Structures are given as structure tokens and as C-alpha cells.
């Protein structure tokens, strides 16, 4: 089934609307550039004048040009060594905004009985705040190491591992689905970058939001214009 633009900026393939939101039980979101408007790591790097360097690695990684997400993240985090921890709060307060339609989509999913999951290759400092702000049920992301009020340039190993990459996003989606007693077909995955493709490939419905070309090509739904809640145009 070829891709069809069913309304301006909303493209579908391999799926026939209308679908029922209540037929799904779990929705998983990426955070940076999906639920929120920024790549947090790029903005933290701005505090030490390294935004251009870090952003170039981020962009190449999200496009899928750098294949090893873990190595890419370690390289970028190393460049944050010495950043004062207060810079994270500053990024949250001054630069981080929810993307259009994020609140509406999360609220609609919760009202339809879905559990909401945030799986991010970003950082707990932001993911936990976004989780609380939107009333998300569960979040998994990376923990930045700090000492003496400054970032050390490393990530902390957590109970599940050290870096939430594409494989970990996929594993988390499948693990939560299994704990809920549902099949992957009853899940939705929403993302924008190459490291979202593994979880999007497992979900019953995959949604690309203002995504990189490689991700748009593979997603069942691509929102190329407008807010996240446009997915509700096909999920009644």
C-alpha cells in the first residue's frame, strides 16, 4: 500500500483509517523533538559554547548516519564535562516547551484508557519533569553523572543498563506490554529519529512526528505539519 496524504501534512501507509484509539492499550513517546521542542543535549552544550559541535553529532545520529547511538551519546556527554548543574534547570525553564498537541494527545490517550510511556535517549532531569507535567505513567532515560555541582561528562549505569538507545527503547516497549498482558499490536510508538525505529517497528501503529526522512518513510503515520494531536484525525 503506497503512502497517501489524507490531509495536508498527514501521510499514512499500510494502515486503513479510521482506527479506534481505545483498541490500543499503550502509547510510547520519544521525548526530544517529539514531545518537546528541543534536543536537550544541544541546549546544555550551549552553556559551554559547544552547541554547534554537539548538535552536528545529534543531527547525524538522528538521521541514522552515525549508527552507534551509545557511542554517539558518550561522545556528546563527554563534551558536557564541567557544565554547572544549574544549566539544566535553565534549559528547562527558558528553552524547553511542549510541542503543539502533546498535552491534548496524552490527555486523549489517558481518557481512552491507554497507559503512557516516555522512552528517551535524553536525560532523567528533563524526562522526569515532562513525565510529571503531562501525567505520563512511566519514563526511562539516561542519568547524567555529577560531582561538586558540575557534570562529569559521563552517564550513570542504572538497573536496566547505562544508555537508553534504540534497542533499549524497543525492549522497554515490549517489556511494558508484556507486564500489561497485551500484544505489541496493541501499542503505538511515536518518534522522530533513527533510534526510534526499533520500537516503531514493533508497535501496532507507528507515528513519525516532523521526523527525519528515514523515519517518515518507515512509519505508518507521518505528521509533517501541525501538532502531535493530528494523529487523532485517524484514531477516533
Q: What is d(CA 149, CA 164) in angstroms, rounded to the nearest whole number?
A: 24
- Whether residue 32 lies in the annotated active site: yes
C-alpha 187, offset from chain centre: 15
- H or E stretch including 4? strand 4-7
Q: What is d(CA 108, CA 42) in angstroms, rounded to the nearest whole number?
A: 31
Asked if residues 186 and 204 have their Cβ atoms less than 8 Å apart, the reply is yes
Q: What is d(CA 190, CA 137) in angstroms, rounded to the nearest whole number?
A: 16
Q: Is 167 exposed, middle or buried (0-12, 13-18, 19+ CB in 10 A)?
A: middle
Catalytic residue, from 23, 32, 46, 162: name it: 32
Residues, the chain, total? 236
- Whether residue 229 lies in the annotated active site: no
Catalytic residue, from 30, 42, 165, 192: name it: 30
- List active site positions: 30, 32
Amino acid at each position: 500500500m503506497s503512502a497517501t496524504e489524507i490531509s495536508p501534512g498527514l501521510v499514512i501507509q499500510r494502515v486503513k483509517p479510521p482506527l479506534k484509539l481505545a483498541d490500543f492499550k499503550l502509547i510510547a513517546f520519544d521525548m526530544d523533538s517529539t514531545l518537546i521542542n528541543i534536543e536537550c543535549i544541544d541546549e546544555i552544550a550551549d552553556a559551554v559554547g559547544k552547541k554547534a559541535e554537539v548538535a552536528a553529532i545529534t543531527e547525524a545520529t538522528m538521521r541514522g548516519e552515525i549508527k552507534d547511538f551509545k557511542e554517539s551519546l558518550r561522545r556528546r556527554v563527554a563534551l558536557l564535562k564541567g557544565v554547572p548543574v544549574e544549566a539544566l534547570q535553565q534549559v528547562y525553564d527558558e528553552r524547553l516547551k511542549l510541542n503543539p498537541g502533546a498535552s491534548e494527545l496524552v490527555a486523549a490517550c489517558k481518557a481512552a484508557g491507554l497507559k503512557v510511556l516516555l522512552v528517551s535517549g535524553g536525560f532523567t532531569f528533563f524526562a522526569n519533569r515532562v513525565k510529571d507535567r503531562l501525567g505520563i505513567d512511566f519514563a526511562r532515560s539516561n542519568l547524567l553523572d555529577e560531582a561538586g555541582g558540575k557534570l562529569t561528562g559521563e552517564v550513570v549505569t542504572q538497573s536496566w543498563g547505562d544508555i537508553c538507545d534504540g534497542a533499549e527503547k524497543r525492549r522497554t516497549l515490549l517489556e511494558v506490554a508484556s507486564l500489561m498482558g497485551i500484544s505489541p499490536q496493541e501499542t503505538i510508538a511515536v518518534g522522530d529519529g533513527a533510534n526510534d525505529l526499533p520500537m516503531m517497528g514493533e508497535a501496532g501503529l507507528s507515528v513519525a512526528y516532523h521526523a527525519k526522512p528515514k523515519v517518515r518513510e518507515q512509519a505508518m503515520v507521518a505528521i509533517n505539519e501541525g501538532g502531535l494531536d493530528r494523529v487523532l484525525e485517524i484514531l477516533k
